[in-house]
Structure formats: C-alpha cells, structure tokens
Amino acid sequence: PPLKFDEALEVTAIHSVAGLLPPGAGLVRARPFRSPHHTVSTAALIGGGSQPRPGEISLAHKGVLFLDELPEFQRHALDALRQPLEEHQVTVARANRAVTFPAWFVLAAAMNPCPCGHAGDSQRECRCTPQQVARYNGRISGPLRDRIDLIVEVPAAGPDAWDGPFGEASSEVRARVLAAHAFRSMRQLEVSGATSSSLNAVAPGERFEERANQLLAQAARHLGLSARGFARAGRVARTIADLSGAERVGPDHVAEGLQFRAEPWSVPRS
C-alpha cells in the first residue's frame, strides 16, 4: 500500500541523512526498493562509519530489501540481519556514541539450488557434488532461515515459458493486497490499543479455529519448528486468511501456509 504521511517522513529523513536527496527535494512518496550487490560490506548493509550513517537495511525502511544470489553474501553480513529483522531497527555503536536507525523492511531474496544452478533441473545435469551443495546451502545460517516466512522453489523456465498462459496481472495482485490490508486494518480497530506490529506477531491460537490450532501444533512437531518458526507459520496463515477475507483462521489457511515452511535447501540431483 502507499506510504502513510508519517512513514513518508521517516523514509525522507533517512534518505536525507544518507545524502541521497538533492536540496529542496520533497517527501519521498514511493516505498524504497534496495538491491545491494553481494559484495556489499557488513557496514554498508547494516550501517556504520566513523560518523554513523544508515545502511541498506535502513534505506529500505518501509520498503523492500532484495538480496540476489543470497549465499554469495558474506556470512557475517547475512547474520547481522537477524536482529533488525526481529526488532525493526539497528543500533550502530561507536566509541563515543551509539545511533539507532529504523529498519522495518520486507526481506526478499533469491538463490540457486547449488553452485552450478542445475540441481533438480530435469533438462540439465547438476555437476556439483553433495558436499558442494551442502557447503553452498550452509552459507545461510539456521537462525536466518528461521526468520524467512515464505520459501518458494521456482522451477527452471523452459523455452515455451513466454508463450502463456500467464498468471494474474500485477494490477490484480495489487488490488488483492490492498483489500487484504484494509481487512487487516478493520481487525486492528477491534483490538483496543493494538499496533500493526503487535497484530503482525499475533500468536497462533488467537482467532484460530480449533482444527487450525491442532493442525499447526501437529505440523510443528512433525517439522520440528522452533518457537519462532511456529509463530511465523501462524502469522503466514493469518495473512492468507486476510487475503481471503476470513475473520478466523481455518485449517485450509494453515495448510497453505505450512507449504511455505518446507525448505528446499537440499535439492536432489537430476
């Protein structure tokens, strides 16, 4: 959805501090989209410098941070994302002071299934050894994976991929997202004093049908979900329910959400 006025003020202030706005520039109205190269340093990603400046995660505040070729980023830089993803802010400490920057962003990332990129491809043979695949996927730590809500395996596109049929148009998807956002806002009004962040982190069980709770609990045991993974699976189910305009989360919403917790980190070779 479009930036609210207070969000636009925050985004504009961050970009001004970073020196990215020309003199006399007005409010930034578009949600930021940042896509740093995988060679980015930890300081450039998180923020730093002798005079602390916002990094990419703060420049993506209220927008999207896209990390392409995720395993190619420095392990230390990726692990530095863990706390900001939870707290939606980052503190840059120096000898004489500490500065806290906002960092409420949606993390989107892409990666190949293996170093050569052909694991699981029915048309091309993977040349990687199992050890190479494991080492490649191991560059993404378990705690960071646990903070990723949706994991989607995208099969390789064939030569006829552009012949159609195609999926929904972006305008149609946008309309559905706006409708779900409005529906969620109506739910917020029903909870006295609730904030967007508290409702986003709603614990499984609240507004969940009994069968949905049971399914989520069974899946948590079967998949070995951590407490964080359990809560995030519940949040995804709540979002799916919002997209369908459902007041309560049903087992179908939970089942659909759990599909995105399956981790295709170790893809069988073709």
Structure-block tokens of residue 237: 């189910």
| Tens-digit pLDDT profile for residues 207-238 | 899 999 999 999 999 988 899 999 999 999 99
Average confidence (pLDDT) over 38-55:
93
Distances in whole angstroms, Cα of residue 209 to Cα of each of 33, 204, 215, 230 = 37, 10, 10, 16
Check residue 144 and give its pLDDT: 94
| Spatial separation of the C-alpha atoms in residues 140 and 144, rounded to whole Å | 7
Strand arrangement of the beta sheet that strand 33-34 belongs to: 33-34, 64-67, 106-109
- Listed range (43-52, 63-72, 198-207, 254-263) with the worst mean pLDDT: 198-207
Q: Would you place residue 202 in the very low, low, confident or very high pLDDT band (cuts 50, 70, 90)?
A: low
| Tens-digit pLDDT profile for residues 109-137 | 999 999 999 888 878 899 999 999 999 99
Domains assigned to the chain: 5-111 (3.40.50.300), 170-258 (no CATH)
Does 82 score more than 60 pLDDT? yes
User: Strand, helix or coil at 6?
Assistant: helix
Residues forming a β-bridge with 98: 93
Model pTM score: 0.86
| Spatial separation of the C-alpha atoms in residues 6 and 141, rounded to whole Å | 35
* Percentage of the chain lying above the pLDDT 70 cut: 90
Check residue 195 and give its pLDDT: 46
DSSP string, 119-156: TT-SSS-----HHHHHHHHTTS-HHHHTT-------PP
Q: Would you place residue 206 in the very low, low, confident or very high pLDDT band (cuts 50, 70, 90)?
A: low
Q: Would you place residue 154 in the very low, low, confident or very high pLDDT band (cuts 50, 70, 90)?
A: confident
Average confidence (pLDDT) over 94-117:
92
